[in-house]
Amino acid sequence: MKRTAITRRLAGLGGAKWDLHLRARELAAQCRDIIELTIGEPDVPTPPELVEAASDAMRQGRTAYSSGRGEAGLRRALAEHYTQRTGREIAADQVLCFPGTQTALFAVLLGVAEAGDEVLVGDPMYATYEGVIRACGATMVPVPLRPENGFRIAAADIAERITSRTRAILITTPHNPTGAVLTTEDLEAIGQLAQLHDLWIVSDEVYADLVFDGSSFRSPLSHSGLAERVIVASSISKSHAAPGFRSGWCIGPGEFTRNLLPLSESMLFGNQPFIADMTEKAVREGSSVASGMRDRFSARAALLTRRLADESRLAVHQPQAGMFAMVNVAATGMNGRDYALDLLNRAGVAVMPGTSFGATMTGWVRVALTIEDDGFNTACDRIIAHANAIREDVA
């Protein structure tokens, strides 16, 4: 039977990038002692008050069809939230609701690019970005994120890759996997390029509430001069420890969201009303768990940085935000994928190869900061012992 072009474009993407994580789960199911540091699962359960809000809404009959835009109360709450966050007036008709950031990004990319177009994105990148870009038929153009620039995407590197086919710049701030946070100056320089070349800026901001002390978050949506070309995607998955509820959104110019609505309705026709009610409560009241996660993730990143520097030849890029730290494993003489497989098989610690996030990360792995402190300390012990064993083997 014939396959469609989109299935060919997406071959090898999606779940294939998570094969090491899946292998770790298989070993754990065989009763192997595995410490899992692979995915960005919050280290606390969804707050009970949000679970109860969803349950109450279901009991009250909030299980009927939704508006294609999303429930009116949630869209008003998001408009008010982003008005306060950005200092710009954001209206409810600039909001579309989706089941999670992933779906929002999929729809948004279909709304800004198509076959023959190009989308610029930092390398490394979140593992699904290549898929959402390929899905719309566009070509992904990687922009190297340099360690010496703190892994922040640089306007000069973007400028070198803009062509007549470029339609959008996809940014992530705070960044996954590196934890970098773009500065106001970074965003202004990117915005100038977007204005000069008439480009969209798509900003994935799912980690905006997980910025560590000493850094501050700013969205390109705050820049009034970019009002007609910035689209933000986010969700409550990270900020409210609610990834399984799949509740996200995009915020963009009113004309863009109106034009995207038929696509959204063709895909989904809105999210579940009872989840929308829970999300409205989450947005209006803020997160009861974000500050604790920020403190714990920051402390674990500092611990990992200190211990690997003192006790091994591995080097950590200390993140400014998020749930992960990148570790440079080049000193082992192994590439990141071989290192991650060896670490899993010999030490029982599962981390993600850097190449799951881009071609520039051959000598790196991503370590999740999301397990409890005792387990994380044990993982550090194992990583250090494994690295030193490799050194002895080579010697």
Could you please report the per-residue DSSP string of 195-255? HHHT-EEEEE-TTTT-BPTT-----GGG-GGGTTTEEEEEESTTTTT-GGG--EEEE--HH
User: Which CATH number is associated with domain 5-45+289-394?
Assistant: 3.90.1150.10
Q: Which candidate, 337, 334, 369, 326, places its Cα nearest to that of 123?
A: 326
Single-letter code of the amino acid located at 90: I
> Model-level pTM?
0.95
3-state secondary structure 165-181: CEEEEEEECCCCCCCCC
User: 180-230 pLDDT, tens per residue?
Assistant: 999 999 999 999 999 999 999 999 999 999 999 999 999 999 998 999 999
User: 328-338 pLDDT, tens per residue?
Assistant: 999 999 999 99
- What pLDDT sits at residue 56? 98
Q: Where are the beta strands (DSSP E) in 75-193?
A: 95-98, 118-123, 139-144, 166-172
Nearest 5°: the CA angle 301, 305, 310 is: 150
- What pLDDT sits at residue 13? 77
Any residues with CB less than 8 A from the CB of 362 and at least 6 apart, and which? 335, 336, 354, 355
Single-letter code of the amino acid located at 317: H
**3-class secondary-structure state, position 118:** strand
- What pLDDT sits at residue 77? 98
- What pLDDT sits at residue 10? 84
Alpha-carbon 47 to chain mean position: 21
- What pLDDT sits at residue 394? 55
* Same fold flag, 5-45+289-394 and 48-285: no
- What pLDDT sits at residue 393? 65
Low-confidence ranges of the chain (pLDDT < 70): 14-16, 392-395
DSSP classification of residue 34:
-
Exposure class string for 221-243: b at 16+ Cβ within 10 A, else e: bbbeebbebbbbbbbbbbbbbbb
What CA–CA distance (Å, rounded) separates 191 from 188? 5
Residue 118 — φ and ψ, nearest 5°?
-125, 145
Fold for 48-285, please state it. Aspartate Aminotransferase; domain 2 (3.40.640)
Distances (CA, A) of 340 to 24, 77, 303, 380, 387: 11, 43, 20, 14, 11
**3-class secondary-structure state, position 139:** strand
Cis, peptide link before residue 99, omega less than 30° from 0: no
The residue extents of the domains of the chain are 5-45+289-394, 48-285
Query: Long-range contacts made by residues 300-304, C-beta under 8 angstroms, separation at least 24?
Result: 300/325, 300/369, 300/373, 300/376, 301/179, 301/212, 301/325, 301/369, 303/376, 303/377, 303/380, 304/367, 304/369, 304/376, 304/380
Cis, peptide link before residue 142, omega less than 30° from 0: no
Residue 350 — φ and ψ, nearest 5°?
-105, 120
Any residues with CB less than 8 A from the CB of 343 and at least 6 apart, and which? 349, 350, 351, 365, 382, 383, 386
Nearest 5°: the CA angle 145, 153, 317 is: 50
Any residues with CB less than 8 A from the CB of 294 and at least 6 apart, and which? 209, 210, 211, 212, 213
- What pLDDT sits at residue 29? 95
